[in-house]
Amino acid sequence: MDKSQILKEFSADPDKYYNVKLFQEQGFVRKACSKCGRFFWTLNADRTLCPDDGTDTYSFIGEPPTTKRFDYTQAWKQVEEFFVKNNHTSVSRYPVVCRWRDDLFFTIASVVDFQRVMGSKVVFEFPANPLVVPQTCLRFKDLENVGVTGRHFSSFCMIGQHSVPDLGGYWKDECVDLDFRLLTDQFGIKKEEVVFVEDVWSGGGSFGPSLEYFVRGLELGNAVFTEFQGELGQHSTLDQRVIDMGAGLERFAWITNGTPTAYDCCFGPINEKLFSTIGIDSDSEILKKYFTEIAKEIDNYDDLNKVRRLAIKNANITDDQLNKMIIPLEGVYLIADHLRTLIFAITDGALPSNVGGGYNLRMMLRRINGTINRLNLKLDMDDLIDTHIDYLKDTYPELDEKREDVKAILKIESSRYEESKIHMKKKAEKIREKGTPSVDELITLYESDGITPEYLKEVDAITEIPSQFYSKLSDLHQSEKKKTITALPLEDLPETETLFYKDDPMEFEAQVIKVFDDQVVLNRTSFYARGGGQEPDLGTIAGFKVVNVDKHANTIVHQLEGGVPAEGDTVLCKVDEIRRSNITKNHTSTHIINASSRKVLGSWIWQHSAFKDDDHARLDITHHSSLSDSEVKQIEDEANDMIKQNYPVNIDYYDRGTAEQKYGFRIYQGGVVPVKSVRIVSIEDKDIEACGGTHVKKTGDIELIKITKTKRIQDGVVRVEFVSGPTAFQYVKDQEVESKQKVQDDIAKQALEKLREENKNKAREQIPILLEKVLAGESGELDGITVKNKVCFTSSDSYDDYFHQNFGKKLTSKDDESAYCGIFETGPTIRVMVFSGVNSGVNAGEIAKEISTILGGSGGGDVKFAQGGGKDTSKKEQAIKKAKSMILG
């Protein structure tokens, strides 16, 4: 929808859309900006320009409009105190990893916390009304601005103020009144300083007016009144109108402090630590001037590098100041910002990797490492993590619990970066020769080789990072998270009664509702349909074989083989009980392996995907490295201990919101649940998941779990293959037989080896005797050697290298009409050795060459002696035949 069109329409009727009670009570006047024409509301009748164009833009730097000073964590306490005092519930932040939406990797706004997907619709579920939440949001689009502009962050705290008017909350008048009083009463900003700008918001099929509020050109918040749905002109009022006020906590802290950048008052003591490392004073006049210039120009140009150059010029920054102050300072801010984001993301279970959302995290850590190297900083990462968490833990206690996990993950990732440097260095040299790469080429370099533009800048392969690089990269990795929807003409059919969630009879009667081709729909069924990684049940319906079962929305479709019953028939159905029992054991085992892996490996373990069939199952988990044998053993032991404890497996239904509040977002191991009533499968407090699969009643029913194989299948994902129940016992038995067989095989092999050695030793002793016989003119078969007029050939494996070497040499030196050819195996190679007396008429070199070619190798030598061979054992017979005919004629 065209936003400017909506704005035009709304601004044409300001009394209806924007004129709230506060404006009348306080005497706000409505003005049109003399520069851009936008409408705004102010108490200062002389004001002619909107906040974006105003002369007071960013004049709070060095001269804050408040008498009180609040840093980041203090600012939240002020906000929270104010809203709680005014009847709001303060809700803890939701995870930054957005497990409850399948179209987002990360939480990007506070309102996302309360959006749930139902089919194609987005609905709101608020745990309280009205409420306020300090929601950490991750956004990677402006990564190149972070550290440079003074106000862009890769993660920020959005103060979310939400109210549903029709369920006992408030609407526009009270919202704007609260926001105004938050600024003036709580933060002590003068009433005249606050300017409201008319705007609109639209997205996801709904839209509404909004009022952005500014102080000295800094947008502090935006109160959106989501009110309508449909196309402008044909729109209707939403069933559930919602207030979505989002404000940047970082900016609240900034405006009260008036520091050169928002970073100076939002990262806590970590800044001082970093500043002392690079030895600069961040509060100098020159920096205030420089960052005010940046702030003024940033909205005028798309190209950040240009903005930067302008600010350098306008603030009279010398080259020396640029290199000694600005550049190190930008680096320090970047490190503080990116590290804070990584701490939140890893705490909430995300891992840096090359796929999905993990991608942005890896990029950020590489930017940190690249900056540390470029500026030659001596920093202790663990110490920086501690400093951040110590500062933030009062507002976000969960960070404190995951402190060690965050350190472990970042350590592994950083060392990977160091390892890849040699490869990156080679690539960088090539780039330097070729000239500046394009944005697309830079993206390819990062995607296929992990080379960041920061690294290229660090080694001087490029001079500056093109703007657009990060936004383009982020676009590529934002929308990968997708789902597929299958369509079948089943709309008019009633919902199938799912007996597997009830008594679950393995034999039942049902009525045939619909038949298409070989597909049958029943009114009720115990056949579990493929879903959640669990394979379908098999069995018979009316005597016909069931070969597949799928679920389409609420209808279960059985695919039969050999025929189908008629519509309307009442049929007898039998589920393959043993198969179902095995699959069920494997499914509960998946939950157990998930819990054991998390316990053994760390809190970052999540189910990535799972598959459960009757004779095997696998669980893919999110983990940074391959598993060691000892880790596999520990996970298996842990799993079997859970079986031994014989914990009950409980299944309960909850309202989705209640389940989330009670158990947190860990329940979404298998992904988003698009229904209001959530089926929670819990094994004590060890594992609690929202799951629609079939499960055993007690963990002891599984009897045994054996992990059969593990493999790192992609960056950040490890596959654990396992068997359980009877299959596990069979596996153990097979393993025993196999290892017994292997022991026997080894013994037999050793015996054979020994026999060969003995034969060879015997053969060596035979040399003089055989020589004598051949030289005496004996022909025919002599101990596996074919002799014809002193020309000999053998391919018997009784003879080794030593024999051929000595016998051939001695024979041909004693008689110049003799010749010798031996073919023998040694290791994986078949070798050939040829000796010929001067008057034998045999060309040793030719034979060796020809035979080697047949064997897929090469040979060399001269007329008198040559050797060679090859590895193609399938050609051995052919080689023997050829050699025999060549030498014996």
* Torsion from C-alpha of 277, 279, 281, 285, nearest 10 degrees: -140
Residue 88 or 695: the one with the smaller Cβ distance to Zn ion is 695
* Interaction of residue 22 with Zn ion, rule CB under 5 A: no
Interaxial angle between packed helices 439-449 and 469-476, expressed in degrees from 0 to 180 and rounded to the nearest 10: 50
Number of residues engaging Zn ion in binding (CB under 5 A): 7
Q: 50 or 339, CB closer to Zn ion?
A: 50
Q: 686 in helix, strand or coil?
A: coil
Separation of alpha carbons 74 and 590, rounded Å: 44
User: Residues 7, 22, 50, 690: which binds Zn ion (CB under 5 A)?
Assistant: 50
Residue 464 near residue 491, CB atoms below 8 Å: no
Q: Is 476 in the site for Zn ion (CB under 5 A)?
A: no
Task: CB nearer to Zn ion: give 53 or 569.
Answer: 53
> Nearest Cα to 237, choosing from 129, 298, 342, 165?
165
Residue 609 or residue 708: which is nearer to Zn ion going by CB?
609
Instruction: Give the nearest distance from C-beta 670 to Zn ion in angstroms.
Output: 6
Stretch binding Zn ion (CB under 5 A), from 21-29, 318-326, 425-433, 693-701: 693-701
The DSSP letter of residue 614 is S
Instruction: Render the burial of 798-820: b for 16+ CB within 10 Å, e for the rest.
Output: bbbeebbeebbebbbeebeebbb
Report the Cα 44 to chain-centroid distance in Å.
51
**Does position 36 bind Zn ion by CB under 5 A?**
yes
Q: Which of 22, 33, 197, 473 binds Zn ion (CB under 5 A)?
A: 33
Instruction: Choose between 36 and 322: whose C-beta lies nearer to Zn ion.
Output: 36
How many Å apart are CA 179 and CA 181, to the nearest integer? 5
Tell whether residue 53 is a contact of Zn ion (CB under 5 A). Answer: yes
As measured in angstroms, the least distance from the Cβ of 183 to Zn ion is: 21
Name the residue nearer to Zn ion (CB basis): 290 or 606.
Answer: 606
Comparison of 363 and 605: residue with beta carbon closer to Zn ion: 605
Dihedral (C-alpha) 820, 825, 829, 830: value to the nearest 10 degrees?
A: 40
Interface with Zn ion, residue 35, by CB under 5 A: yes
By CB neighbour count within 10 A (0-12 exposed, 13-18 middle, 19+ buried), where does 556 fall?
A: buried
Tell me the closest approach of the beta carbon of residue 39 to Zn ion, in angstroms. 10
> Closest approach of Cβ 689 to Zn ion, in Å?
6
- What is the smallest separation between the CB atom of 479 and Zn ion, expressed in angstroms? 27
User: Which of the residues 735 through 764 are near Zn ion (CB under 5 A)?
Assistant: none
- The CB-of-610 to Zn ion minimum distance in angstroms stands at 7
Angle of CA points 795, 796, 800, to nearest 5°: 95
Q: Which stretch binds Zn ion (CB under 5 A): 128-136, 157-165, 683-691, 764-772?
A: 683-691
Residue 691 beta carbon to Zn ion: minimum distance, rounded to whole angstroms: 3
Quote the least distance from Cβ 483 to Zn ion, whole Å: 18
The reply to whether 530 sits near Zn ion by the rule CB under 5 A is no
Contacts of 761 (CB under 8 A, 6+ apart): none
Helix (H, G, I), strand (E, B) or coil at 723: strand
**852 and 868 in contact (C-beta within 8 Å)?**
yes
Q: Whole-number minimum distance, CB 400 to Zn ion, in Å? A: 31
Nearer to Zn ion, 420 or 609 (CB): 609
Q: Which is nearer to Zn ion, 295 or 334 (CB)?
A: 295
Residue 691 binding Zn ion, by CB under 5 A: yes
Choose one: 46-54, 106-114, 372-380, 391-399; the region binding Zn ion (CB under 5 A).
46-54
| DSSP string for 794-811 | E--TT--HHHHHHHHHHH
Q: CA–CA separation, 42 vs 32, rounded Å?
A: 11
Among 65, 130, 565, 693, binds Zn ion (CB under 5 A): 693
User: Which is closer to Zn ion, CB of 53 or CB of 386?
Assistant: 53
φ, ψ at 79 (rounded to 5°):
-65, -50
Which of 36/743 has CB closer to Zn ion? 36
State how far the Cα of 610 lies from the Cα of 591, in Å rounded to an integer: 10
Residue 44 beta carbon to Zn ion: minimum distance, rounded to whole angstroms: 15
Positions that interact with Zn ion (CB under 5 A): 33, 35-36, 50, 53, 691, 693
